[in-house]
Amino acid sequence: MPGIENLEPKLVWKHFDEIRKIPRCSKHEERIREYIVNFAQNQGLKTKVDHVGNVVVLKPATPGMENKPTVVLQGHMDMVCEKNSDVTFDFSKDPIQLKITGDLLTANGTTLGADNGIGLAISLAILEDTTVRHGPIESLYTIDEETGLTGAFAMKPDMLTGKIMLNLDSEDFGVITVGCAGGGDSTLELPIHMQPVLGGSEHIVVKVFGLRGGHSGVDIHEQRGNAIKILTRLLWKASQKCDFFIFDVKGGDKHNAIPREAYAKLALETKNKNSFVTELKAEEKDIYEEIKPIDPGFKVDVQSCDPPKTTLDKPSQTKLLNLVHGLPHGVHQMNYDIKTLVNTSTNLATISMKENAVVIGMSSRSPMKSALQDMRDRIRAIASLSGATVSEGTPYPGWKPDLQSKILALSKKIFKDMFKQEPKIEAIHAGLECGIIGEKFPGMDMISIGPTLKNPHSPEEQLHISTVGKFYNFLLKVLEAV
């Protein structure tokens, strides 16, 4: 792309430019793994690839620094693949299209993939850079961080020898992250019964769109609109005065992204259409007034659509609307000690229909196992009222802050020396692989750091270019000083 080759540090941007061309949606990391392994071999570096596809690249110490402790640089190979509905893009083959606007690097209607592509690029640049002074490095690249942390879960004890880890998956330069939330998914299935379409009906699709979406951990406190919840609210309210029959519903497609778009397809008698649209538009206006400070792009559209063969019967539809309208979404509890930190939340992430059921996906987070399980229990309790079944994914652990960490103390000192200000020390309400890796490798001294990235997991993802060079230079100083 014109312009990116002129950015500094050149090695970092060279690798990022290559990475953005490589398809790497979660669970499809084959080509990015091949790129990393081939790169390492060309550099004369040893690699390990484990049974699930995680990669470790080993770089020997700079001569004279062999006795320094081994440092693990860690990032994940996959990215969240999200696009706006009006964008034609195939994540399985198309390169991410980049745009530079001032200090911001974005994509064109898709996720940028800087989460965690910029972390990969930075670590690869360090592996290639012969001017860097450091002890032994193990550069770890995991699979499937975004949809289940399965790469980290699958790691064996012989994968790493280092006891210091720098996770490169944080998104705020000047912040050192020392803790994160754990989490777990819940999948609800509501049995439904279908009936023949009533005669004399019209068929419409109601679509909610234009919402910002975002990361269901780091953005959940902003109370951005949830397209599934808004769509359900519209239909629930309209159902109190109008008769209609749902025959399809869909929204969201990632457990860790706040859903930006959702739609429902309905059949209704022609005589009821005007009153239905009137009710819908009145509620849309109220919702817009409620969320316009955070989601000014919110819109509702009503269009004709192809007729179905069947629709939900009335009891199934009532159960569905009551269930989704009643399910929790958003912040449940703030942290008592750190007033600005979310403690417990849940994301109503996805909804879809299959032959005999509506499937709803939810993702809950908390650093406390008991609070996380309580949130999942609440979901199960609400589901039981409608006759829905619930299956729960394996929860992943949180990461408890260690404020006496040696790598934290060293990094704080170097940051202050370089930038003449103290870094912020924070825990985040999102899942990082540090929690799992810390459990698997007891005694691992860890921090999470990175350049500034805004709105990950959405097409509004923005990488702040000027922070990349600053972060790279900071990281080099840390590696030299360990």
Catalytic positions, written as ranges: 78, 145
Answer yes or no: are the C-beta atoms of 351 and 249 closer than 8 Å: yes
Distance (Å, rounded) from C-alpha 96 to C-alpha 47?
Answer: 27
Count of beta carbons in the 10 Å neighbourhood of residue 370: 9
Nearest to 388 by CA among 153, 142, 190: 190
**What region does 30 belong to: left with phi over 0, alpha with psi -120 to 50, or beta?**
alpha
Answer yes or no: are the C-beta atoms of 255 and 466 closer than 8 Å: no
Answer yes or no: are the C-beta atoms of 268 and 274 closer than 8 Å: no
Distance (Å, rounded) from C-alpha 316 to C-alpha 313?
Answer: 6
Give 383's contacts (C-beta < 8 A, 6+ positions apart).
188, 190, 323, 327, 389, 390
Distance (Å, rounded) from C-alpha 19 to C-alpha 35?
Answer: 8
Answer yes or no: are the C-beta atoms of 234 and 476 closer than 8 Å: no
Distance (Å, rounded) from C-alpha 225 to C-alpha 295?
Answer: 7
Beta bridge partners of 266: 204, 246
Tokens, residue 16:
């990022």
Tokens, residue 260:
């930006």
User: Position of tokens 């960490």?
Assistant: 405
3-state secondary structure of 256: coil
Distances from the Cα of 275 to the Cα of 205, 222, 268, 269, angstroms: 16, 34, 11, 11
Element (H, E) at 272: helix 270-291
Distance (Å, rounded) from C-alpha 263 to C-alpha 245?
Answer: 14
Element (H, E) at 60: none
Distances from the Cα of 82 to the Cα of 121, 309, 363, angstroms: 21, 31, 17
Tokens, residue 354:
């299959």
Distance (Å, rounded) from C-alpha 373 to C-alpha 364?
Answer: 9
Distances from the Cα of 104 to the Cα of 67, 114, 359, 390, angstroms: 40, 12, 38, 42
